[in-house]
């Protein structure tokens, strides 16, 4: 007898092209799950609206870019369901039903949401004309909407980064509360699946992010990648080429080597640095080559996908239709359990 595969659900907001930190930290993880689990990956465009409701002109392009980054990186539409959140209106209905049983203070206490609100207000302190600093009713529902995303497939695992743990705790609480109130065991309490790969730092040693202009995109050209790496910070105590370096104080180049290069190469790089055999420029040039080698196929695939819009529109359409079927099933059960008319 064939037992049904466990389900995995995750998503990203379409806010721009992905960087190699997303690739190493999130996508490689998603890719690993594709064979052992039934995977649903959402382009969370409603979640993007929670803070960018007044900047929708980039939304379509961002959705396209995100799906292209995913497929080029190895998310296989033949194995996994790739869908766009807003193409499944039933998710909104489930969100509404779940919002009724969610205590207000659960969302108010959510540390991740608090951080989002702080960032939103912080960015816009002096601009009074601008409406983008408002904390909308929709934004307060962020973790509840995310809960609907997950529970609608009854996913048991959610691969996410650390920043999403607080949201996910609310998801488990909501699942448990639903089951308790309606005396059922219908919803599975979804567990997080944290990435093992440490998040890559940006080339300036800060958190990698597009707003800090310190990221290397999956879609960057080889030349841009090399240029960015050349700007990366190194061991600050190494002033002259003849000074021995300290790999452990080299906060960006060194960890990148550890993540992207093989063991032999890392050994050689550390030895040559410590003994002033290699200069930082050479060290970075080699790193740029290693990273460019690693992403050559992904970037090639990306170009092909960009040239074939019919293909990924088809992927989105098929995936969303397939996802919608499961969501409709779940919603029917939920409404039944809640004794809706």
Residues 6 or more apart from 241 whose CB is under 8 A from it?
Answer: 276, 279
CB of 143 to ligand TRP, least distance (A): 8
Apex 303 CA angle, 295 and 38, nearest 5: 70
Residues 122-151, one symbol each (x = binds ligand TRP by CB under 6 A, - = not), give: ------------------------x--xx-
By the rule CB under 6 A, 327 interacts with ligand TRP = no
Closest residue by Cα to residue 160 from 60, 328, 44 = 44
User: Other C-beta atoms within 10 Å of 201: how many?
Assistant: 19
CA distance 294 to 128: 46
Residue 245 site contact among ligand TRP, ligand SF4, none (CB < 5 to 8 Å, cut-off depends on kind): ligand SF4
Beta carbon nearer to ligand SF4, 273 or 315: 273
Enumerate the H helices of 125-210 as residue ranges: 137-140, 142-151, 165-181
Closest residue by Cα to residue 22 from 229, 207, 223 = 207
For ligand TRP, the binding residue among 7, 17, 38, 47 (CB under 6 A) is: 47
Between residue 35 and residue 64, which ones bind ligand SF4 under the rule CB under 6 A? none
Between residue 184 and residue 243, which ones bind ligand SF4 under the rule CB under 6 A? 234-235, 238
In this chain, which stretch among 94-102, 156-164, 262-270, 281-289 interacts with ligand TRP, using CB under 6 A?
156-164
Return the residue matching tokens 């007044």.
54
User: Other C-beta atoms within 10 Å of 148: how many?
Assistant: 28
By the rule CB under 6 A, 254 interacts with ligand SF4 = yes
By the rule CB under 6 A, 42 interacts with ligand TRP = yes
Between residue 260 and residue 279, which ones bind ligand SF4 under the rule CB under 6 A? 273, 278
Three-state SS at 39: strand
Phi, psi of 151 (to 5 degrees): -70, -25
In this chain, which stretch among 5-13, 16-24, 70-78, 212-220 interacts with ligand TRP, using CB under 6 A?
5-13
Burial status of residue 2 (CB atoms within 10 A of its CB: 0-12, 13-18, 19 or more): exposed
User: Other C-beta atoms within 10 Å of 60: how many?
Assistant: 11
Residue 250 site contact among ligand TRP, ligand SF4, none (CB < 5 to 8 Å, cut-off depends on kind): ligand SF4
Residue 8 site contact among ligand SF4, ligand TRP, none (CB < 5 to 8 Å, cut-off depends on kind): none
CA distance 220 to 310: 23
By the rule CB under 6 A, 110 interacts with ligand TRP = no
Phi, psi of 83 (to 5 degrees): -145, 165
For ligand SF4, the binding residue among 20, 280, 290, 315 (CB under 6 A) is: 280
By the rule CB under 6 A, 245 interacts with ligand SF4 = yes
Number of residues that bind ligand TRP (CB under 6 A): 14
Interface residue list for ligand SF4 (CB under 6 A) = 234-235, 238, 245, 247, 250, 253-254, 273, 278, 280, 283-284
């Amino acid at each position: 007898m064939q037992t049904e595969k466990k389900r995995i659900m995750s998503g990203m907001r379409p806010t721009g092209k992905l960087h190699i930190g997303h690739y190493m930290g999130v996508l490689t993880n998603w890719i690993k799950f594709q064979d052992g689990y039934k995977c649903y990956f959402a382009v969370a465009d409603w979640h993007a609206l929670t803070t960018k409701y007044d900047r929708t002109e980039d939304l379509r392009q961002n959705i396209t870019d995100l799906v292209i980054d995913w497929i080029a990186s190895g998310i296989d539409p033949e194995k996994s369901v790739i869908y766009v959140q807003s193409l499944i209106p039933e998710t909104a209905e489930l969100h509404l039903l779940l919002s009724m049983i969610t205590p207000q203070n659960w969302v108010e206490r959510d540390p991740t949401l608090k951080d989002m609100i702080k960032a939103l207000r912080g960015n816009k302190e002096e601009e009074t004309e601008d409406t983008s600093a408002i904390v909308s009713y929709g934004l307060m529902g962020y973790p509840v909407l995310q809960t609907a995303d997950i529970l609608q497939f009854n996913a048991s695992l959610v691969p996410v980064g650390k920043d999403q743990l607080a949201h996910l705790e609310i998801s488990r609480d909501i699942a448990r509360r639903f089951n308790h109130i309606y005396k059922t065991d219908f919803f599975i309490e979804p567990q997080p699946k944290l990435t093992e790969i440490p998040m890559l730092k940006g080339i300036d040693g800060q958190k990698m992010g597009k707003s800090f202009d310190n990221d290397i995109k999956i879609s960057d050209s080889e030349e841009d990648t090399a240029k960015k790496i050349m700007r990366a910070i190194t061991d600050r105590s190494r002033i002259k080429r003849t000074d021995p370096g300290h790999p452990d104080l080299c906060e960006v180049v060194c960890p990148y080597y550890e993540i992207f290069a093989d063991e032999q190469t890392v050994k050689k790089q550390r030895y040559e640095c410590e003994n002033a055999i290699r200069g930082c420029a050479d060290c970075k040039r080699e790193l740029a080559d290693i990273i460019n080698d690693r992403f050559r196929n992904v970037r090639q695939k990306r170009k092909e996908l960009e040239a074939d819009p019919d293909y990924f529109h088809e992927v989105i359409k098929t995936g969303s239709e397939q996802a919608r079927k499961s969501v409709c099933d779940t919603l029917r059960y939920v409404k039944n359990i809640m004794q809706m008319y």
